[in-house]
Structure 1
Amino acid sequence: MKKRIRAALGHPRLLLFIDRLLFTVGPATNQRSTFSLLIAPPGAGNIGDQAMIEAYLENTPGDIRIICHGQQDIIVPDQHIERTRVIVLPGLIYGHLIPHVRSIGVFRRLLGRAQSLAITGADIMDGAYNWQASTNRANIAWLAAQAGVAVRILGFSWNGQAHPQAVTALRRATAAGVQLCLRDPLSAERARADGLANVTEVADIVFAARTVNFATASRLLYSLPAHCDYALVNASGLIGRTQGQIDGYVRIIRELQHQGLQVILLPHVSRPGGDDLPVCQAIHQALKDPQVVLVDQLLSPSEIRGLTASATLTVTGRMHLAIMSLYSGVPAITLATQGKVEGMMRLFGAEFLCIEPRPDFADRVITVAQQILSRPDDLRQHLHSKLPAVRRLASRNFDSPQQDIVNQKELSCAYD
């Protein structure tokens, strides 16, 4: 009974009803606009989430306020500390009525001074992981647009089976003027098919990142033979828990070694419910090979980009590790889940790099790896040729509404 009551008190429809009432009670503030406002992704042990935050900071001038669920969710890099303030609102997206009401009051006051609102969309808008949180994000976007604030949802994917409540909430938000930045052409097609408006085709905002840290990569590579070629291998805690997956990764790593590559096992997420580190440790233990390097902590996004920059190949169950490999033109064989990877690979004309995590995934990864390693320079040159266009698409996440119109006209002309 308690669970039912709690679920009812946290239902997005109830929260939106209360929010609409609160937003009608007097003006939020009469102060002038002073900062850009960002609603962060869950973070807290996810390098991809941290990478999106940092890409936003690197591409957004002026003062910034970041709303997050918990104090430890994100880390603000030193170069952005003076102009950035983190505001913890635990009930804004998650939780039931009382903490939400407390959070929405603070959010409304922030909106009254915000130049704009951005929401980090990633893969958390279509309801695949948590439909209530997805719906709440869309409802927050609608409220802000109704209050006259320019709102955009940054580079996100949209799967082919979005939750009906998330679809309805996002339709309402776009009708109020919220701009949707879909991070790949397949997601944009699906979004339009679901009746979503104001769709701008972009690429993931991490392709617009600017910092690369080579120091950590140099320390990690110091233990490897000089001038060796190496591969990065990641096993996702969401899809790599079974013994079959561990055995599959062992076979993949043995094949990469047979191809003359040193191997670095690299966790990308470490938090409850999806921790890569125990899976990577289990693979390392199964290999019983001291030449395989296990990274036993999460690196920063810039450190990851420093490590991927010189890799020959990446095999990963995490999309943002694939992105940070492709960022340097490094092929990334990716175990694709939630329909979110295929469209990104289409931007590079490299859909064959997507592998479904079926029981035979290791055979398929090995086949693709052999094809790549037989002529590695050919694929690298192809990926590098696509990067300038992908980076331009990523920069569209930060365009003004007027520039969006120009970009869409250019895109339509290109397709005609």
Structure 2
Amino acid sequence: MPRRRVRAWLSDWIASRPPTLFLIPSDPWNLTGSIGDAAMIAAVTEVCRTQAGLEVTVLTSTDAADQAAHRLGLRTVRVAWDSEQAFWPQVDRQIRKKHAKALLVLGADVLDGGYGSEMAKRMLRIADLAASRRIPTAILGFSFNSAPAEDLRPAWAKLHPDVVIQVRDQSSLQRFEAFSGRKGTLVADCAFLLKEKPGQASEAVRAWTDGKRQQGRHVLGINFHPQLFKKREDFPRLGRSFETVLRKLAAEDGTAFVVIPHDNREDSDKVALRAFAAGLDQTLRENVLFVGEDVGPDEIKAIVSHLDGTVTGRMHLAIATLGMGRPAVALTYQDKFEGLFDHFDLPSWLLVTPEAAGEPEVLLALIRRFRASLGALTSQVQAHLPAVQQAARRNLDALGWTAGDAARQP
């Protein structure tokens, strides 16, 4: 076949394929080990496919990340994240090769350097590279803590002016703008766009909670994990506090609890919470259900729909709960929860430090107050939820898309 015809055939083949959106994850090594990351990726992917007609390609660095991406129906591009010299030519080549129509950065909670500044610098530089290639580029709603890494200041200052910067809560937005000198747009976390999907685990929770409610009991979800503490040896104290409180509340009115892991990585809350549930005595176990199966973020939303509320140390479990119209208590860390709760005008007493929750009398008083306020808090969450979901949709509005027209983006 003459070379000219080959080039024409390739050009026609490329034109016939769906346009490609590049997604830059915050964890290219595990991708979805954090169920919160999985929720954001799944939500964005669904919108990009169904409303914008885009094929989503994610940059990865390991076989595990590739497998996780393929389970979500994503295409992958393997790049050498751990090699500065090889990384940039690979990224630039892939963006050109795939004829990227847009690029989104999953900012999550890493762009303040809270987990190290090198990953944040690299993500910002990718966004800068894409924008310099005239590719529509946006950073999805991220949080920004009160003590950002100082060496990130130049990276933010040099970021291409066409990159759309979106921050997922008002408190983070104020901190970000004061630190960077750049303007951001207020949105809500894109995980609020994720739809629930029932499965075997959620159906088991539904059956169990239905039985408890027939007995006139409240049912609350709980989650806590070692990452809440800088010193991991402080974590067992929190577990003992929860055990004491669960026992007292069960004795008071039979309040039942569903223990929900929300991270599948090593040293995760799944390991810690499995040990916690297994250590309960038989009498208390009858009042506690442990979700032991690996479940995706969409089924997590189905699970929390059967609860009255949650007490959680994972922000995206709180987002799943609020997204299903239920209130949450937060064990705070990394300045994440304050801005999230502001979206719903929720009172500050719903926020507690892990150290304070390690005192049984503090945790008991908090959950008693939460239990007594469930009706009013639920109404408040449900009243604010439509506006929050609209704010979440603005993550993609920033690129100027309307349903189905992204394929026509230049």
Amino acid at match of 1:200: T
1:55 positional shift: 0.5
Of 40, 58, 68, the residue aligned with 1:66 is 58
Off by >3 Å, runs of 4+ in structure 1: 29-33, 74-78, 105-108, 220-225, 359-365, 400-404
> In the alignment, what sits opposite 1:46?
34
Equivalent residue runs for 1:11-410 within 5 Å: 34-42=19-27, 43-60=31-48, 61-62=52-53, 63-73=55-65, 75-76=68-69, 81=73, 84-89=74-79, 91-92=80-81, 95-101=82-88, 103-110=90-97, 113-173=99-159, 175-213=160-198, 215-223=200-208, 226=211, 228=213, 229-239=218-228, 241=232, 242-257=235-250, 258-272=252-266, 274-288=267-281, 289-291=284-286, 292-350=288-346, 351-362=348-359, 363-401=361-399
Asked whether the equivalents of residues 223 and 261 of structure 2 are also in contact (C-alpha less than 8 Å), the reply is yes
Asked whether the equivalents of residues 201 and 293 of structure 2 are also in contact (C-alpha less than 8 Å), the reply is no
> In the alignment, what sits opposite 2:408?
none
For the aligned residue pairs, the C-alpha RMSD in angstroms reads 2.6
Aligned length: 367
1:123 positional shift: 0.3
**Could you say if the C-alpha distance between residues 185 and 225 of structure 1 is closer, same or farther in structure 2, counting changes exceeding 3 Å?**
closer
1:245 positional shift: 1.6
* TM-score (norm. length: structure 1): 0.81
Asked whether the equivalents of residues 333 and 365 of structure 1 are also in contact (C-alpha less than 8 Å), the reply is no
> In the alignment, what sits opposite 1:4?
none
For residues 57-112 of structure 1, the C-alpha deviation after alignment (integer angstroms, 9 at most, x for no partner) is 1211322212223232363587x73xx412222x23xx1334425633544434x6
Q: Which runs of 5+ in 2 are unaligned?
A: 1-9, 403-410
Asked whether the equivalents of residues 322 and 332 of structure 1 are also in contact (C-alpha less than 8 Å), the reply is yes
> In the alignment, what sits opposite 1:24?
none
**Could you say if the C-alpha distance between residues 211 and 282 of structure 1 is closer, same or farther in structure 2, counting changes exceeding 3 Å?**
closer
**Could you say if the C-alpha distance between residues 329 and 365 of structure 1 is closer, same or farther in structure 2, counting changes exceeding 3 Å?**
farther
Q: Which of 138-147 and 121-130 deviates more? A: 138-147
Q: Which of 220-229 and 113-122 deviates more? A: 220-229
Amino acid at match of 1:330: R
Asked whether the equivalents of residues 58 and 69 of structure 2 are also in contact (C-alpha less than 8 Å), the reply is no
1:285 positional shift: 3.2
Asked whether the equivalents of residues 232 and 315 of structure 1 are also in contact (C-alpha less than 8 Å), the reply is yes
* TM-score (norm. length: structure 2): 0.82
Q: Distance in 1 between matches of 2:309 and 2:45?
A: 29
**Could you say if the C-alpha distance between residues 139 and 123 of structure 1 is closer, same or farther in structure 2, counting changes exceeding 3 Å?**
same
* Corresponding residue SS for 2:188: coil
Asked whether the equivalents of residues 157 and 183 of structure 1 are also in contact (C-alpha less than 8 Å), the reply is yes
Q: Distance in 2 between matches of 1:170 and 1:259?
A: 53
1:163 positional shift: 0.7
Asked whether the equivalents of residues 127 and 163 of structure 1 are also in contact (C-alpha less than 8 Å), the reply is yes
Asked whether the equivalents of residues 50 and 75 of structure 1 are also in contact (C-alpha less than 8 Å), the reply is no
Kindly, what percent of the aligned residue pairs are identical? 25
Amino acid at match of 2:75: R
> Does 1 or 2 have the higher relative contact order (CA < 8 Å, sep 6+)?
2
Amino acid at match of 1:331: P
